[in-house]
Structure 1
Amino acid sequence: MPERVWSEKDLVRRANRRLAVLRHAEEVSGNVAATCRYYGISRNIFYRWKRR
């Protein structure tokens, strides 16, 4: 199966969404678990994004 090739626009959009999730946890809710539930992602994914 061929690997997907992401356009620059797609990469920027994905990066901005990840930053929005990280900022929400830090500035709005102050709660990682609540932020993850709100955005529908796992805490493992959240912390992977944060590490990057």
Structure 2
Amino acid sequence: MAAMKPRTGDGPLDVSVEGRTIVVRIPTEGGGRLVIEMSAQEAGELAEALTQAI
């Protein structure tokens, strides 16, 4: 039987730099968090797209 890992649980929106990538953790409805890893260039493109949407 595989080992059971504890869930990381809910938490606030979190952004951190890990090595050469940017990791974004977004809380989701119903529990848990969506984790996205991207480069600095991709983060810039995402920031532009979000700014235009707002």
Normalized per residue, which structure has more helix? 1
Normalized per residue, which structure has more strand? 2
Calculate the TM-score normalised by the size of structure 2: 0.30
Calculate the TM-score normalised by the size of structure 1: 0.31
